[in-house]
């Protein structure tokens, strides 16, 4: 087994010259094996080893004995020993976390602190092949994506609230049975955590019930098969991630913490690339993907077909917002602070022709239709049709002005644009950014927020000349 682990370490560059490695040792078979194996392999080298033990304050006397046991092993092997004490039950109750999650949190807090104090550049933990298989199943049951089904990695950089930790897992290529065999051959004792035998924790249920049943009743090589499937998925995941990263760079633009993409361009990608790009944006904005669910990604994709101005509230204070053919994603504070940066200039609309609005990166395309026979006028939020002969002034593409109004019924009733925005609950800070097509003070078309057009200009049976107007993102061909 020593040769297998040593080869795994070298293949994955887990340990290099002059490394200072902190080993997490609970006193159980796995961590005791890891400590002895590293001490054996790297004896009389420039690799320096340290041990940290975390007392969770749960098993009282039994936990005290575990600590004393690990300290005794370290004294025998002449490895510096550091113990950390926590009241996991109290912390879990105070922070509203499970004891499992809290235990993991305090362990990494201890790892980071001990590594920092001893100038250690890596932390070694004793995850083995069984742990890997259990993790894959656990993630599957929790509804994980492909990444979660790829299993535990030999080396990873963990970003915690306490800092960054480089974690290595030298025992990943060996099973728990091999570990116990290694210890038995060398007559090395270890402690058994009684809570590992209790099926009150999720992982214990998978380990003691599901995995045990699968090995006995389905296939006794279940560990190898599950971890093998994880390895295959990891290859597929890397291929997908490469393509996601390539398309992310081509499609997504970032400015002042706000990420934007063209809905039309993204929609042409395969759905797995679309979802991957969205998740990558969310990870960039939030800093991690914890609490980001598949539903959040699907809601953002669905936002692309919604009307202009629609937005989603997301975890970590993020907002996704629909603009004119564009989705913007960022922290709410960034979106608010950037909302008024570029107030568009007023533009005369060319009829017929194309009018570009640089600050929004869109253009209005217009056409005169003299004969409406055999013409269909489907409902479309980005394209509208008007009675051209009723237009009195040069049409303008602009934002609101004092005195703006629109006709709301066929009897000639009007409403101030300000009141219309209030009725529609358009946020006050967004009203100056809503684009309008205006005939003097009369608003023909409100671009977004329902896409309302004035009743005065609607096509009727008496209409002779039609003006078609279409709004397009400037990137559209």
Q: What is the dihedral of CA 101, 235, 16, 51, to 10 degrees?
A: 20
The residue whose two tokens read 């997908």 is: 240
Q: How far apart are CA 63 and CA 71, in angstroms?
A: 12
Q: Is 27 annotated as a binding residue?
A: yes
Is the pLDDT confidence value at 93 over 80? Answer: yes
pLDDT in tens, 277-310: 999 999 898 887 777 778 889 999 999 888 777 8
Q: Would you say 68 and 62 are in contact if contact means Cβ atoms under 8 Å apart?
A: no
Q: 3-state class of 398 per DSSP? A: strand
Determine if residue 90 is labeled as part of a ligand binding site: no
H/E element, 399: none
The pLDDT score that the predictor gives to residue 382 is 77
333: Cβ–Cβ under 8 A, 6 or more apart, which residues? 317
pLDDT above 70 for 379: no
pLDDT tens figures, 308-330: 778 888 888 888 988 778 899 98
Q: How far is CA 175 from the centre of its chain?
A: 32
β-pairing, 48-55 vs 20-24, is parallel
Q: With 70 as the cut, is the pLDDT of residue 128 above it? A: yes
Distance CA 177, CA 114 (A): 30
Percent of the chain scoring above 70 in pLDDT? 91
Strand partners, 82: 52
Q: Which residues pair with 436 in a beta bridge?
A: 398, 446
Interval 27-48: pLDDT, tens: 999 999 999 999 999 988 999 9
- pTM value is 0.64
29 is in an annotated binding site: yes
User: In 3D, which of 87, 19, 25, 88 has the Cα closest to residue 52?
Assistant: 25
Report residue 384 as tokens. Answer: 């509208």
pLDDT at 337: 47
Are 433 and 400 in contact, with CB atoms under 8 Å apart? no
Residues 6+ apart with CB under 8 A from 53: 24, 25, 26, 27, 66, 67, 70, 71, 81, 82, 83, 84
28 is in an annotated binding site: yes
Q: Confidence band (pLDDT; 50, 70, 90) for 341? A: very low
Q: How far is CA 161 from CA 103, 113, 158, 198, 366, in A?
A: 15, 12, 10, 30, 55
**Helix, strand, coil percentages for the chain (3-state, nearest 5):** 45, 20, 35
Count the Cβ atoms, other than its own, within 10 Å of residue 165: 20
The model's pLDDT over 153-205, given as tens digits with 9 standing for 90+, comes to 999 887 666 667 889 999 999 999 999 999 999 999 988 866 666 666 677 88
- Helix, strand or coil, per DSSP, at residue 246: helix
- With a cut of 90, say whether residue 443 has pLDDT above it: yes
Residue showing tokens 């953002």: 300
347-348 vs 405-407, strand pairing mode: unpaired
**Other C-beta atoms within 10 Å of 115: how many?**
23
- 435 has which bridge partners? 447
Walk me through the domains of the chain, giving residue ranges and CATH numbers. Answer: 2-220 (3.40.50.620), 252-338 (3.30.465.60), 347-473 (no CATH)
Cis peptide bond prior to 352, omega within 30° of 0: yes
DSSP classification of residue 15? S
Q: Can you tell me the distance from the alpha carbon of 401 to that of 199, in angstroms, rounded to the nearest whole number?
A: 68
Which one-letter DSSP state was computed for residue 86? Answer: -
Q: Order of strands across the sheet with 20-24?
A: 81-85, 48-55, 20-24, 122-124, 163-168, 155-160
Backbone angles phi, psi at 267, to 5 degrees: -65, -15
Q: Is 415 in contact with 463 (CB distance < 8 Å)? A: no
339, HSE (Cβ side, Cα atoms, 13 Å): 22
251, pLDDT greater than 80: yes
**Helix segments in 329-457, DSSP class H:** 332-338, 417-423
């Amino acid at each position: 087994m020593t040769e297998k682990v040593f080869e795994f370490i070298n293949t994955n560059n887990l340990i290099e010259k002059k490394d200072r490695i902190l080993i997490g040792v609970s006193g159980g078979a796995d961590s005791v094996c890891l400590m002895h194996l590293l001490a054996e392999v790297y004896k009389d080298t420039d690799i320096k080893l340290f041990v940290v033990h975390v007392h969770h304050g749960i098993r009282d006397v039994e936990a005290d004995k575990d600590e004393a046991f690990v300290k005794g092993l370290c004294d025998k092997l002449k490895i510096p020993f550091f113990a950390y004490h926590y009241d996991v039950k109290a912390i879990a109750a105070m922070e509203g976390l499970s004891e499992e999650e809290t235990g993991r949190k305090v362990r990494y807090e201890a790892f980071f602190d001990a590594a920092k104090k001893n100038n250690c550049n890596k932390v070694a933990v004793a995850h083995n092949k069984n742990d890997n298989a259990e993790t894959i199943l656990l993630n599957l049951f929790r509804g994980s994506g492909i990444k979660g089904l790829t299993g535990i990695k030999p080396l990873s950089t963990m970003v915690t609230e306490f800092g960054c930790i480089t974690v290595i897992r030298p025992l990943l290529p060996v099973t728990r049975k091999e570990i116990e065999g290694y210890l038995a051959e060398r007559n090395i004792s270890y402690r058994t955590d009684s809570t590992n035998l209790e099926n009150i924790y999720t992982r214990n249920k998978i380990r003691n019930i599901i995995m045990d049943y699968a090995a006995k009743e389905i296939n006794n090589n279940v560990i190898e098969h599950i971890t093998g499937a994880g390895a295959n998925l990891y290859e597929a995941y890397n291929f997908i991630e490469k393509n996601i990263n390539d398309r992310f760079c081509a499609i997504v633009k970032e400015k002042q913490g706000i990420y934007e993409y063209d809905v039309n361009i993204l929609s042409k990608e395969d759905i797995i690339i679309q979802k991957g790009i969205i998740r990558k944006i969310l990870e960039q904005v939030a800093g991690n993907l914890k609490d980001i669910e598949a539903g959040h990604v699907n809601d953002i994709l669905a936002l692309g077909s919604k009307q202009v101005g629609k937005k989603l509230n997301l975890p970590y204070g993020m907002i996704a917002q629909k603009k004119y053919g564009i989705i913007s994603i960022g922290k709410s504070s960034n979106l608010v602070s950037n909302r008024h940066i570029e107030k568009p200039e007023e533009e005369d609309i060319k009829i017929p022709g194309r009018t570009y609005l640089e600050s929004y990166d869109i253009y209005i395309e217009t056409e005169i239709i003299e004969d409406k026979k055999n013409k269909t006028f489907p409902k479309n939020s980005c394209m509208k049709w008007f009675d051209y002969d009723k237009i009195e002034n040069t049409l303008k593409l602009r934002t609101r002005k004092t005195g703006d109004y629109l006709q709301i019924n066929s009897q000639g009733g009007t409403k101030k644009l300000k009141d219309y925005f209030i009725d529609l609950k358009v946020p006050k800070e967004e009203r100056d950014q809503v684009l309008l097509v205006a005939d003097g003070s009369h608003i023909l078309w409100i671009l977004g927020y329902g896409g309302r057009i004035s009743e005065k200009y609607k096509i009727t049976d008496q209409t002779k000349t039609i003006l078609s107007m279409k709004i397009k993102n400037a990137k559209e061909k």
